[in-house]
Amino acid sequence: MRYRVRHMTRYDYAAPVSLCHNEARLALRQLDWQQITGSRIDIVPRPAVRQQRPDFFGNGVTAFSIQKIHHSMTVTAVSEVETLPRPDPPESYRPTREAAVEEARHSPELRQFQLDSPFVARSDALRDFALPSFPPGRALFDAVCDLNRRIFEEFTYAPGFSTLATPIHEVLVERRGVCQDFAHLMIGALRSMGLAARYVSGYLETLPPPGQPRLVGADASHAWVALYLPGWGWLELDPTNGSLPGTRHLVLGWGRDYGDVPPLKGVMNGGSSHQLEVSVDVAPVEEG
Amino acid sequence: MNAWAERYVVGSGLDLMTAAPEARWQPLLTALEGLGREELGRRRDEIQRLLFENGVTHGPLTEDAESGRPWQIDPLPLMMAPAQWRELEKGLVQRSRLMKALLADLYGPRRMLNQAVLPADALFANPAFWLPCAPLVGDEESALTLHGVDLTLDADGRWRVLADHLQTPAGMGYALENRIVMARVLPDIYRDAPLKRLAPFLGRRHESLSALSKLNLDHPVIALLAPGHARDGHFEHAYLAHYLNLVLVEGSDLVVRDNRLWMRTLGGLEPIDVLTRRIGDAWCDPLELRGDSLIGVPGLLQAIRAGGVSVTNLPGVGALEHPLIAAHLPILCERLLGESLMIDGVERHWCGSEAGREWALDDFDALHFQRLDGDTAEPRPSALDEAQARALRRAVEAEPERFVASRPVAGATAPFVGADSASLHPAPFNMRCFSQALFDDQAQFSHHEVMPGGLAWRGAPGTALQASQCVRDVWVTAETPQPHVSRLRRSRQPLVVTRDGDDLPSRVADSLFWLGRYGERLDGRTRLLREGFYRLMEQDQEAFRDESLAELLKLLEGEDAATAAGVAPVGSDQQRLLALLREGPEDALPTLVHRMISNGRAVRDYLGDDAWWVFNRMRQEATGLARLDVAGARRATETMVSRLAAFFGLCNETMPHHYGWRFMDIGRFIERTLTTLGLLRFALVDACLVRDPLCEIMLASTDNATAYRRRYRSALHPAAILDLLLFDEGNPRSVGYMCKRLARQIEHLPQPGNTPYRSEETQLLIRARSTLHLADLATLVRVDEDDGARAALAALLDALLTPIAALPRAIELNHFSHAEPPRQLIPMQAP
């Protein structure tokens, strides 16, 4: 599939801002199954300083500073991308959870996704929640798909219920939240089972193909999960939709949790309060 | 052998003095003992007095004026023999090399993780490992230029490292101050001792900081970033900044623009080339590190990456202070340096390894457990009750990889002088040493150097410096007498003559302004209280009620809810007056003293030493105010008035009359004008029934009683009072003089923007002065007989008050470019 993604964020401040320093993680990541053919980020007012660098996880960061007095800031990221199906683990490949735990424990690269991170702490409650999906003898792949399905079925997608500061436990008890919460919840559950899991930030095409139901996650950034399968690699799972991401999931980047990959963050002087406007448009591009 | 040493009874363990007699303890002991018990006691009191007067405290300044205690210095330094020190020095240099190599690896290729020398948990379960700092944000040269190491001698006579301090290696300033105080109080002992001096080391500290500058090579601006004057360690930060000739700054003084670091000053932004910091890693940059930091600088990491500023030690170094890394230092040293670690640390194992877990569980009760993700150590199992100890054991068994276990060190002892100044007592001790990186003239790293001395404190190994009651100097004896080195640094570069000009940080100008305001407010208030006590004493003698005292009390107590509701104040005049010494609205004396001192501390390095001395006396005296009787209170107010006069007098005499001084003076005279206008209104308009005594109070409290009597004998003519206190520009206590002085000071301030228009503060003063010049004195003099004249006087006083009261705001807006506290676009704190 070919897409043109447009992600616009606009802040209107109640008081003038004299200076701000920001970081944007808004460029889609180049991957085997995700070829980036065009990408730009426009910032208004024009920043005085602007620099690119990869972050700890290899995601592209645009750091910029606006140094003149301004009352609003608009960041617009436009990318063109072609997605291919992600590789599936072969049918015959059925690693156990124990093997996955062991491999991650001995790999510095994976260990960081097995431990606690600022937004996701392992706990007995999360482990208890995950356990029914991991009966003895069930293959790891089947177990995590079951967990993915259970979050989709047992939890209610409820915008407005949670904020960044809502602990996973509240989401677990109330059984409601948004994609970010479900991703954190699932990462927490997987890590509490000893597995290495990471947070994936991106977009989801929401215009449904004819005859299929409209998927949740429209007009916003989306977030899902990736689990490390030993000897194979990262398997992505989308608990908000109970699905395995395919050509309609576009990847911006990944980290231990949301805190590592916010699309836009910043610190400013002034501004008082602000109004935020976000629009995300994932438009399929006709072939040819 | 002298008597102290003969009577010195060491416990069963090892003792530093008896183990290393070559360290020349004897001559020192003989000298101290030779002073005699009483003389030594006097000298020790003198040490404490000097520390207090120099404002040496280790603790934050709080509302409670008695906190921020100076520490006790033991007059007997910890003695280190040359051979003993050389060994230690080698080990410390090796440790600094190891830390440098380890930092480059952990924030770089992480070979030690990939080769499984160090478990990944040492970084990824380590809250001090900051992902944004990897790869290393600055260059390796600046990464680690100062390294503090806590040591003790164990019972077997081996040195052991207890902790490494890399983020904010504090204590050099205290070590230096200890040494200077000792040299002043025990000059004979100090001068004759062949001990290594500290000054050359500190002089080279400035050189090595200069070597880190990238853009400005000849005269780099070096700043010391402190967490703020109300925080722990402020004394040391101000002291070091002063000694090393660094600009002392706080986060709110700084801003990142164009990928460079700048300081907000009166004249605009001034670049900073090198920043040495005393705030923890987490707080350095709210954009990339802890988002809720208000003491850091947004964008700092980006400026470091871009090469616009060098920061040392680099943010991120704190990761190396982690116990799991400490547990692996011996093997890391083998692998990174190809050497074995010279100074052992504490015996320590990670419970996440099988061997470590077994070791920890076998000897559970004797060990100390630390969580990987927490700053706070778990209490020793032996300090826990049975149920808690069981719970800890269960936690270790369930998730062993979350714990590091260590065996507490049984420390050797060292002699400390007893409270009686006549005996020695053994006690365990800790010692902090420092090592710094030195650079050659091409600014390339050359080698590490250890400070020949340090800071020692009494306490079981691992006791925090802040928690100790008693500190002492560390003397490294030299084979030959050592030359004295002046504390004025000799620079390699030609001197650039500087004047405190408009590169004064805005925050400093602001604090000086408020120092002036609070000082003057305190002065006005104290003078009125003093008059109150005089009157109280006279009234008691003559047994009649002095109506002016009642009026004065009303003025001093202010309009609070009770009086507004018509409730009569409780208590006798005496009780009410004494109560005003310790409480009251906004203007209670202790509050004013505290505010004045707090502003003074913020500008410590701009005040002369003598002014500072007066300041400390005031602080000391203010603590006793609440416990005084009437006679004592009168004396205290008299003392306070003369202290304030001495303080501001010394400031006038010793501070360069540049912008900083001008702001302080403006603050004082705004406050004095407001006080005088208030008094005139009080005596001549509001309370005319008992006017004469009130006029006396007013004259006395403005110290004009003598001038008035000389000119007018004793009769109180309103016209004469008005002339003396309003119009006479030659009288420093008149409003006319004050306005003239304010106008002159403001004329000399830097005017941002260079507009052809008059600044607002200039306009306000023109308004006040013309009001005064145009006043109709002929009407006003009838204030006694005529309600119309009284209304005219009230109107005149109001017309003067309005512009003067608006002056502070105008000055703040025009001159103190306050940074609004940084705010986050999205609060990024995890729940």
User: What does the pLDDT look like over A237-270, one tens digit per residue?
Assistant: 999 999 999 999 999 999 999 999 999 999 998 8
Given a cut of 90, whether residue A41 has pLDDT beyond it is yes
Residues B651 and B661 in one domain: no
Residue whose entry in the numeric block shows the structure tokens 């054991």: B393
Q: What is the ipTM of this complex?
A: 0.94
Residues B230 and B333 in one domain: yes
Q: b/e for B765-785, b at 16 or more Cβ within 10 A?
A: bebbbebbeebeeeebbbbee
What is the DSSP secondary structure assignment for residue A133, as one 8-state letter?
G
Lowest mean pLDDT among B82-91, B189-198, B355-364, B630-639: B189-198
Structural domains in chain B (count): 3
At A215 the pLDDT is 57
Lowest mean pLDDT among B435-439, B585-589, B672-676: B585-589
A228 vs B655: which has the higher pLDDT: A228
Six token digits for residue B68? 């921020």
The answer as to whether B445 is a domain residue is yes
CATH architecture of A2-83+262-284: Sandwich (2.60)
Which B-chain residues 84-143 have CB contacts (< 8 A) with chain A? Answer: 110, 113-114, 116, 120-121, 123-125, 131-132, 134
Question: How close, in Å, is residue A49 to chain B by CA atoms?
Answer: 6
Strand order across the B268-272 sheet: B254-257, B260-265, B268-272
Six token digits for residue B644? 């304030």
C-beta separation of B257 from A19 below 8 A: yes
Which chain A residue's Cα is nearest to B820?
A: A269
Question: How close, in Å, is residue B260 to chain A by CA atoms?
Answer: 11
User: What does the pLDDT look like over B93-143, one tens digit per residue?
Assistant: 999 999 999 999 999 999 999 999 999 999 999 999 999 999 999 888 889
Cα(B414)–Cα(B431) distance, integer angstroms:
11
Lowest mean pLDDT among A150-154, B449-453, B634-638: B634-638
Single out the residue in B461, B476, B491 at which a domain terminates. B476
Residues B711 and B748 in one domain: yes
Lowest mean pLDDT among A24-33, B170-179, B394-403: B170-179
CB A151: neighbour CB atoms within 10 A?
27
As a whole-number percent, the residues of chain B with pLDDT over 90 amount to: 43
Six token digits for residue B366? 């004797």
Six token digits for residue B444? 């390339």
User: What does the pLDDT look like over B523-545, one tens digit per residue?
Assistant: 998 998 898 888 888 877 766 66
Residues B455 and B530 in one domain: no
Which helix (H) or strand (E) is B430 found in, with range?
strand B424-439
State the helix-helix crossing angle for B691-701 and B659-680, rounded to 10 degrees: 170
Q: How far is CA B269 from CA A46, B42, B247, B303, B501, in A?
A: 22, 50, 14, 16, 13
Cα(B100)–Cα(B640) distance, integer angstroms:
53
Given a cut of 90, whether residue B299 has pLDDT beyond it is yes
B26: amino acid identity, one letter? Q
pTM flag (> 0.90):
no
Torsion on CA atoms B326, B332, B334, B337, rounded to nearest 10: -110
Cα(B285)–Cα(B747) distance, integer angstroms:
39
C-beta separation of B346 from B406 below 8 A: yes
A85 touches chain B (CB under 8 A): no
Which helix (H) or strand (E) is B673 found in, with range?
helix B659-680
Residues B535 and B468 in one domain: no
Cα(A143)–Cα(A137) distance, integer angstroms:
10
Cα(A176)–Cα(A224) distance, integer angstroms:
16
User: What does the pLDDT look like over B224-265, one tens digit per residue?
Assistant: 999 876 666 777 888 888 888 888 898 988 999 999 999 988
At B644 the pLDDT is 93
A115 touches chain B (CB under 8 A): yes
User: What does the pLDDT look like over B734-792, one tens digit per residue?
Assistant: 999 999 999 999 988 887 655 667 788 899 999 999 999 998 877 887 777 778 888 88
Cα(B486)–Cα(B493) distance, integer angstroms:
17
The ranges of chain A annotated as CATH 2.60.40.2250 are 2-83+262-284
How many residues are recorded in chain A?
288
DSSP string, B258-318: TTEEEEEETTEEEEE-EEEE-S-GGGS-TTTS-TT-SSS-TTHHHHHHTTS-EEESPTTGG
Residues B126 and B238 in one domain: yes
The answer as to whether B34 is a domain residue is no
Residues B742 and B786 in one domain: yes
At A214 the pLDDT is 55
Contact criterion met (CB < 8 Å) for B819 and A269: yes
Closest CA to B699 of B672, B671, B725: B725
Cα(B191)–Cα(A202) distance, integer angstroms:
71
User: What does the pLDDT look like over B437-490, one tens digit per residue?
Assistant: 999 988 899 999 999 999 999 999 998 887 887 899 999 988 776 665 555 444
Closest CA to B317 of B571, B143, B463: B143
Six token digits for residue A118? 């600022």
The answer as to whether B531 is a domain residue is yes
Single out the residue in B608, B627, B655 at which a domain terminates. B655
Residues of B in contact with A185 (CB under 8 A): none
CB A233: neighbour CB atoms within 10 A?
12
Which helix (H) or strand (E) is A43 found in, with range?
strand A34-44
Considering only CB atoms, A167 lies closest to which of B255, B291, B831, namely B831
Contact criterion met (CB < 8 Å) for A268 and B134: no
C-beta separation of B524 from B648 below 8 A: no
B305 touches chain A (CB under 8 A): yes
Chain B interface disruption, residue of A11, A20, A23, A49, most B CBs within 10 A: A49
Given a cut of 90, whether residue A91 has pLDDT beyond it is no
Residues B463 and B318 in one domain: yes
Strand order across the B274-277 sheet: B247-250, B222-226, B274-277, B310-312
Query: At B108, is the secondary structure helix, strand, or coil?
Result: coil
Domain that holds residue B422: 48-346+409-476
Residues of A in contact with B110 (CB under 8 A): 108
Residues B664 and B648 in one domain: no
Closest CA to A179 of A133, A234, A225, A144: A225
C-beta separation of B281 from B375 below 8 A: no
How many residues are recorded in chain B?
831
Provide CB contacts within 8 A for B517, sequence distance 6+. B667, B668, B670, B671, B808
| pLDDT average, residue stretch A130-154 | 95
Given a cut of 70, whether residue B375 has pLDDT beyond it is no
Residues of B in contact with A21 (CB under 8 A): 256, 287, 298-299, 302
Residues of B in contact with A171 (CB under 8 A): none
Contact criterion met (CB < 8 Å) for B824 and A267: yes
Contact criterion met (CB < 8 Å) for B299 and A65: yes
| pLDDT average, residue stretch A207-211 | 71
Residues of A in contact with B123 (CB under 8 A): 108, 112
Q: Which CATH number is A97-245 given? A: 3.10.620.30
Contact criterion met (CB < 8 Å) for B302 and A21: yes
Q: How far is CA B548 from CA B250, B504, B544, B573, B784, in A?
A: 48, 46, 12, 12, 17
Residues B650 and B669 in one domain: no
Query: At B6, is the secondary structure helix, strand, or coil?
Result: helix
Query: At B541, is the secondary structure helix, strand, or coil?
Result: helix
End-to-end C-alpha distance for chain A, whole angstroms: 12
The answer as to whether B71 is a domain residue is yes
Residues B110 and B218 in one domain: yes
The ranges of chain A annotated as CATH 3.10.620.30 are 97-245
Number of inter-chain CB pairs under 8 A, A vs B? 105
Residues B461 and B512 in one domain: no
Contact criterion met (CB < 8 Å) for A116 and B288: no
